[in-house]
Amino acid sequence: MSYCSLDDLKRKVDERTLVELTDTTASGQLDPVTVERALRDASAIVDSFAGKHYKVPFNPVPHAVSDAVSALAVRGLHRYRGLISLAWEQAGEEAMAFLEKLSEGKAALDGAVQKPAPSDDASSTLVFNAPARVFSRDLLKGM
């Protein structure tokens, strides 16, 4: 699941730039498959950081998450084409810094459902019982 759509991305990046970043066949058209892959990859990165404290996938998607996904996706598209955009590199680094704070619990997402804290209750400990061993190392020695 992607936390940002192509239409959301077009609000942040002009379509001409997206065409330049995704058109590998010189058709002059935007490749929606490449954009969707970049958005899914960026969403997976967000899930890997946010999943430590929040239930993922997000529904509804917090604005900070869609911003991070769009920044990471556009940075990824630039890297895919072997291009460097200092502005998008910086945006990607800022998104990663936010995600690191999120995973450390130093940042929060408004409206997102937090995972419950792990229980320290001893009653939740699993106990296994098994019959005594039938064969032992000494019993099998010399067989």
Q: pLDDT for 84-97, tens place per residue?
A: 899 999 999 999 99
Residue 127 lies in a domain: no
- pLDDT category, 143, cuts 50, 70, 90? confident
Residue 90 lies in a domain: yes
Cross-strand partners of 114: 54
pLDDT at site 90: 97
Q: Is the pLDDT of residue 52 over 60?
A: yes
- pLDDT category, 30, cuts 50, 70, 90? very high
Identify whether the C-beta of residue 83 lies closer than 8 Å to the C-beta of residue 56: no
**pLDDT tens track for 104-118:** 989 889 878 887 766
What mean pLDDT is reported for the chain? 89
Q: Is the pLDDT of residue 78 over 70?
A: yes
Residue 62 lies in a domain: yes
Residue 23 lies in a domain: yes
Q: Higher pLDDT residue, 30 or 119?
A: 30
Rounded Cα gap, residues 101 and 112, in angstroms? 15
Count of domains forming the chain: 1
Domain holding 111, by residue range, is: 6-115
Residue 44 lies in a domain: yes
